[in-house]
Amino acid sequence: MVVKNICCIGAGYVGGPTCSVIAWKCPDIRVHVVDKSELRIKQWNSEKLPIYEPGLEDVVKECRGRNLFFSNDIEMAIKEADLIFISVNTPTKTYGIGKGRAADLKHIEMCARKIAEVAEGNKIVVEKSTVPVRAAESITHILSANTRPGVSFQVLSNPEFLAEGTAVENLLHPDRVLIGGEESVEGDEAVAQLTWIYNHWVPTEKIITTSTWSSELSKLASNAFLAQRVSSINAISALCEATGADVSQVAVAVGKDSRIGSKFLQASVGFGGSCFQKDLLNLVYIAECLNLPEVAMYWQQVTDMNEYQRTRFAKRIVECLFNTVTDKTLAVFGFAFKKNTGDTRESPAIYVCSHLLEESARLNIYDPKVECKQIEHDLTSAAVTSDPERVQQLINIYSDPYEAVKDAHAIVVLTEWDEFISYDYRKMLSVMKKPAFIFDGRKILDHEALIKIGFHTETIGKRFSRNTLLRASGDHFPSFSWTL
């Protein structure tokens, strides 16, 4: 069999960009992306795509209607396809056994059942969603229990490693493509087919093949390792603030060791996004279920440290603003979980803002890409507040950062958008309440310059001795009992 038709179930942050790039690089293959959401499909077929990713619009415009199609006709797409990607969401369970930790596989199961119900002929089913190890076994079970004469399936694991904001670049130049398959003649043939698709643009040496279970676990492990690096440098940032060391300098020194490497050592207000927290919790849950409590505790600490970092930053804002933010206006720069995306899932901004709102601060929020209604939804959802009306009164969403800072007591930077670096902060200072504060939760601004023009400046992992104002808790360093 040569793959001529691909179907992708799930037109989200993974399914959309991944299949757009496949269609672009494989003009000989027809790619049909389907979703149960009519709105999402309508957006994929419109001028304004449902997600913002640099470079994506050009790719979609070139391929859409040629060999890339978006529709809600899931059954038709499954029937026509030789290879089916499952790219649906696998969020943390919010109910029942494993609530708050296990991955919710209901969408995966629905896809497997739908494929079993309507598929004709031989199909390769590819698990692209991030799933717990051995999920492919369940998919295979559902498919084989419902098989009909003349229909056969091979299930592969092909986790996606793209990061939002750089999805197109990551897909075009992946560090590796991972394919896990059954160790059998049919399994090898299916792996060869998927390898052939990637080989249209990815060199063979970058395509790793493993057993299905190793592939599934490698995805969870990769995200856990990345998140662990962020939590590690954030833990060091707390030590820096307490001792007078500078976390940026420490990160450079540590990262120069080629065994450690310099990437993912940017201290911050904490990691966000739809993956790290969910996949860590899933790993913890799996370890607990396998009676490996020490392993579970180890990885749990990575997410605990992240929560500590967000809370620590929010508390520091209140503390610096003379221990009260009640009725004070704070301009929040950035709401997305990282730059170059409009995605707010698990954004640290949600946690920091909700802490400040609890303290009755008024928030003027500006983000270049996040929709106004998304911010309102995130801050008024039941998981965040029991009083959505009160929150609604305390927040204002702005489309101009210069408007957002008028009469504000402080600016709080929560996403590392490039445009924040080049603002005219002198102009902003002139319309703010004095003393004016700036809290850089992403370490992107020129702090020395801000101090020079008169901002009281605070950031992660560094204390500024030249700040004129004393911290409410006292600006003297503690005497270290372990020094001479």
Quick one: which segment of 258-266, 350-358, 399-407, 448-456 binds ligand UDX (CB under 6 A)? 258-266
Q: Which does 111 bind (CB under 5 to 8 A by kind): ligand NAD, ligand UDX, none?
A: ligand NAD
Closest-by-Cβ residue to ligand NAD is 12
Round to the nearest angstrom and report the end-to-end CA distance of the chain.
74
Alpha-carbon separation of residue 199 from 193, 279, 285 (angstroms)? 10, 29, 36
**Quick check: bond before 159 cis, omega within 30?**
no
Alpha-carbon separation of residue 9 from 97, 302, 330 (angstroms)? 26, 32, 42
Token pair listed for 447: 């702090």
Q: Looking at 111, 287, 379, 412, which residue binds ligand NAD (CB under 6 A)?
A: 111
Q: Looking at 7, 8, 15, 24, which residue binds ligand NAD (CB under 6 A)?
A: 15
Q: Among candidates 66, 74, 84, 54, which has minimal Cα distance to 25? A: 66
Q: In whole angstroms, how close is the CB of 288 to ligand NAD at the nearest point?
A: 20
DSSP state of 157: E
DSSP state of 479: P
Apex CA 387: angle with CA 384 and CA 393, to 5°?
A: 105
Q: In whole angstroms, how close is the CB of 159 to ligand UDX at the nearest point?
A: 8
Which runs of E-coded beta strand occur in 163-265? Answer: 177-181, 207-211
CA dist 223 and 448 (Å) reads: 35
Ligand-binding annotation for 35, yes or no, is yes
Check binding of 157 to ligand NAD (CB under 6 A). Answer: no
List Cβ neighbours of 442 (8 Å cut-off, separation of 6 or more).
Answer: 268, 269, 334, 413, 414, 415, 416, 460
CA dist 363 and 308 (Å) reads: 22
> How many residues sit close enough to ligand NAD to count as binding (CB under 6 A)?
26
Q: Looking at 13, 70, 276, 417, which residue binds ligand NAD (CB under 6 A)?
A: 13
The nearer residue to ligand NAD, 346 or 458, going by C-beta atoms, is 346
Q: Looking at 11, 156, 194, 332, which residue binds ligand NAD (CB under 6 A)?
A: 11
The interface with ligand UDX within residues 204-243 (CB under 6 A) comprises 223, 226, 230
Q: Looking at 59, 83, 84, 90, which residue binds ligand NAD (CB under 6 A)?
A: 90
CA dist 292 and 55 (Å) reads: 43
Map tokens 């490497």 to a residue. 261
| Contact (CB, 8 A) for 195 and 202 | no
Check binding of 333 to ligand UDX (CB under 6 A). Answer: no
Check binding of 160 to ligand NAD (CB under 6 A). Answer: yes
Q: Which does 90 bind (CB under 5 to 8 A by kind): ligand NAD, ligand UDX, none?
A: ligand NAD
R_g of the chain, CA atoms, integer Å: 24
Token pair listed for 18: 């991944």
The interface with ligand NAD within residues 274-303 (CB under 6 A) comprises 274-275
The site string for ligand NAD over 195-214 (x = CB under 6 A, - otherwise) reads: --------------------
| Contact (CB, 8 A) for 101 and 92 | yes
Q: Looking at 143, 162, 250, 314, which residue binds ligand UDX (CB under 6 A)?
A: 162
Check binding of 309 to ligand UDX (CB under 6 A). Answer: no
CA dist 65 and 53 (Å) reads: 20
Q: Among candidates 456, 404, 451, which has minimal Cα distance to 431? A: 404
Check binding of 130 to ligand NAD (CB under 6 A). Answer: yes
Q: Looking at 44, 337, 366, 437, which residue binds ligand UDX (CB under 6 A)?
A: 337
Check binding of 265 to ligand UDX (CB under 6 A). Answer: yes
The site string for ligand NAD over 47-76 (x = CB under 6 A, - otherwise) reads: ---------------------------x--
Residues annotated as part of the active site:
275
Q: Which does 9 bind (CB under 5 to 8 A by kind): ligand NAD, ligand UDX, none?
A: ligand NAD
CA dist 128 and 87 (Å) reads: 5
| Contact (CB, 8 A) for 290 and 237 | no
The torsion angles phi and psi of 333, rounded to 5 degrees, stand at -100, 110
Check binding of 275 to ligand UDX (CB under 6 A). Answer: yes
CA dist 460 and 463 (Å) reads: 8
Q: Looking at 3, 76, 110, 118, which residue binds ligand NAD (CB under 6 A)?
A: 110
* Known binding-site positions: 10-15, 35, 40, 88-92, 129-130, 164, 275-278, 345
Residues lying near ligand UDX in the complex (CB under 6 A) are found at 160-164, 223, 226, 230, 264-266, 268, 271-273, 275-276, 337-338
Instruction: Detail the residues annotated as belonging to a binding site for NAD(+).
Output: 10-15, 35, 40, 88-92, 129-130, 164, 275-278, 345
Which stretches of the chain bind ligand NAD, using CB under 6 A?
9-15, 35-37, 40, 74, 87-90, 107, 110-111, 129-130, 160, 162, 164, 274-275
